[in-house]
Structure 1
């Protein structure tokens, strides 16, 4: 009788141990799944929009605001912005320049990515030349919207002179590739056709839009092709040194750098947003007053 009781008690104890171990295993599995899901939910997802093309002509400020808002809502985790602009007034010594210090129109300090800029400048890919950066509307006008919609993003502002060689552009591109993260947005600040009547401007812009739409099929970004697209047909009869010399794009250099970066990221799928112009919006009769604008984005 006593032996039976002891045997029964042993079996009960063994069953309890098995249940306890099973409970611990289930609890451990539950906690593992819970914390994995929690970590996944907290992790920042990569942005889907890798670059945008926007004008720096504040005539279309409302359209700019609308477009930036859409991009920010679609990509809430943008952490870094590479902002590329023409050097409109040819300031500074080097062809490609950046700055580690910049304030906006309200005298607020811009969140510049000083460390990355300093590293790249040491390679000679571009120089740090803060002189008159605040006068470059290709940079400053975009900062109005980056400050509003991407407050936490660090900015790398770059201005490029017209006439910069492909070798210099490629060197800058190679260094920028090293600092691009999954949450980096490239902004090409560019106005398109200048100083032509609306008929020619529209023809130029349609040619560029078609080019953008076919980019995902090309094997290599060709700088000469971009420069050719940036030439408008009425330029043949104009003085190349004139201030109002007609062009179909104000900075083929900026566009080339951005597209080379995007090609390496496999992100050349173009989405067209809007095309406008001074002439179409204001009914301006003088071709010299006309500037056109193309808005669009690139993704994988």
Structure 2
């Protein structure tokens, strides 16, 4: 009996001890959880097989381009397909001097793992580089927004974040990162509060859009979709973004809409930087490709110079009449050349050549004569590679002077675009064609000179992989930058054909670049250099990419 009592005593003692240990353990669990809420030490480890060296080396070997204004960048778009990791590194390299306090990374929720349409994380994300820093205040504000929920586990498998974040951590090691995932079923109304939040918190911060573009198409079709995407994003109307197809154009139409909406609200300047297709990385023919477009939105006019792959399209050019004496003065000539080169950076140029060349000219109010020696020096120093003679002053000196002018220009390696003819321009590895059209009769000066037959002949020409076709048209009324009924009729006809851009001259008044049915259009390039007071020296920069696609910009 005594032994039984002792056994029961030991049993009760162990039971009390065990219960106490359980209570202590539960207390510790809740206490640690409390501490973790106050000072989160845990992190989501993002699946990533690459080493820190992989990211550091790619950034190290990336070149920084010559850039005008790169200190006020608000958004940058990069791919998350690591096949194109060199594009991510190269794009970030261009803005490494930025010093944002916080970086928002917008990525598709590729597999719709988030329970809500927008998902965020409130603990650090861990990559091969480090754990991310947090901005609790911004995260708490985001948590209050409709359609947003915290789900840390989702980020473990999201390559839209995992591919881009390590590069960003190296470039900006002391920045807070706020990752945001958006499901493909998020509609415009689901994004309004997030757009408002981002717009209110953009100052001193940066938004990274992690997005690939065309998916599952062959290279040729993907390139067409990329050009369509570039043109639609360049359009002033953000609602046009919803016309894009997912995944033919991009893998996240709604995120692209967010970026475009912010760009429109703030009147940011967009600079497209790179466009490439996954076919670039293999010699084997690929039936289903992925494409990549990188670009920036800046508070200032931004340019990344790529002289070999850029050409400038300028308006009306004339060096005679009231400029005759100026052009006989070498000091004036040199000064003007230097002024213009400071803007063009010696990039190749195409312009509208108004008049004819002669050894010596006399002042004439109506006949536009230019003296050959200073004019040719001017053109060659400015790196003019082609001119259009499809205008109402090309025959001012008669047919003989027209032929003399044409032959002299070509002798000096300046291509001539003639009326109702096209000229092939070779820029680095890219070929494109310019069709010269003229609605102003060079004899009568009346607006009745368009021949529509030449359009059909032009379009029948063989179009190779890198061919783009632009119209350079002389039309409109002088000293006006608005279309009248006749101009609108011509434009409607031209719009039915598969041109890549329409650029006008003659009015002497510059118009802005716009998009009509997603077709790049400039009614009038204005005066590039003329003996009038309204010399705008406006140019349209055409920048070509690896795909043969292009972007346009007023400079």
TM-score by length of 2: 0.40
Match of 2:101 in 1: 79
Structure 1 segments unaligned to the other structure (5+ residues): 1-45, 232-245
Q: Secondary structure at the match of 2:215?
A: coil
Aligned-partner Cα distance in 1 for 2:136–2:163: 20
User: Is the CA contact (8 Å cut-off) linking 1:102 and 1:134 kept in structure 2?
Assistant: no
Structure 1 residue 185 corresponds to structure 2 residue 187:
no
Judging changes above 3 Å, is the alpha-carbon distance between structure 1 residues 116 and 125 closer, same or farther for their aligned structure 2 residues? farther
Residues 159-180 of structure 1 show CA distances to partners (whole Å, capped at 9, x for unaligned) of 1000112111112111222222
Structure 2 segments unaligned to the other structure (5+ residues): 1-69, 300-555
Match of 2:258 in 1: 257
Q: Secondary structure at the match of 1:133?
A: helix
Structure 1 residue 57 corresponds to structure 2 residue 81:
yes
Structure 1 residue 272 corresponds to structure 2 residue 272:
yes
Aligned alpha-carbon RMSD (Å): 1.9
Shift in Å at residue 111 of structure 1?
1.4
User: Is the CA contact (8 Å cut-off) linking 2:195 and 2:262 kept in structure 1?
Assistant: yes
Match of 1:43 in 2: none
Match of 1:13 in 2: none
Worse overlay, 60-69 or 83-92: 60-69
Match of 1:228 in 2: 243
Aligned-partner Cα distance in 1 for 2:295–2:199: 22
Relative contact order, higher structure (CA 8 A, sep 6+): 1
Residues 74-113 of structure 1 show CA distances to partners (whole Å, capped at 9, x for unaligned) of x2x2211111010001112100111111323338321132
Spell out the pairing of 1:125-164 with structure 2 (5 A cutoff): 125-164=147-186
Shift in Å at residue 184 of structure 1?
1.1
> Which consecutive segments of 4 or more residues in structure 1 shift more than 3 A?
none
Select the structure of larger CA radius of gyration.
2
Aligned length: 230
Spell out the pairing of 1:23-62 with structure 2 (5 A cutoff): 47-62=71-86
Aligned-partner Cα distance in 1 for 2:242–2:265: 21
Q: Secondary structure at the match of 2:178?
A: strand
User: Is the CA contact (8 Å cut-off) linking 2:80 and 2:212 kept in structure 1?
Assistant: yes
Aligned-partner Cα distance in 2 for 1:70–1:173: 26
Match of 1:66 in 2: 90
Aligned-partner Cα distance in 2 for 1:166–1:175: 15
Higher helix proportion, which one?
Answer: 1
Residues 164-204 of structure 1 show CA distances to partners (whole Å, capped at 9, x for unaligned) of 121111121112222222x2111111100100000000001
Shift in Å at residue 125 of structure 1?
4.8
Match of 2:295 in 1: 296
User: Is the CA contact (8 Å cut-off) linking 2:74 and 2:205 kept in structure 1?
Assistant: yes
TM-score by length of 1: 0.72
User: Is the CA contact (8 Å cut-off) linking 2:232 and 2:241 kept in structure 1?
Assistant: no
Q: Secondary structure at the match of 1:167?
A: helix
User: Is the CA contact (8 Å cut-off) linking 1:82 and 1:187 kept in structure 2?
Assistant: yes
Residues 134-172 of structure 1 show CA distances to partners (whole Å, capped at 9, x for unaligned) of 211111111111101011221111110001121111121
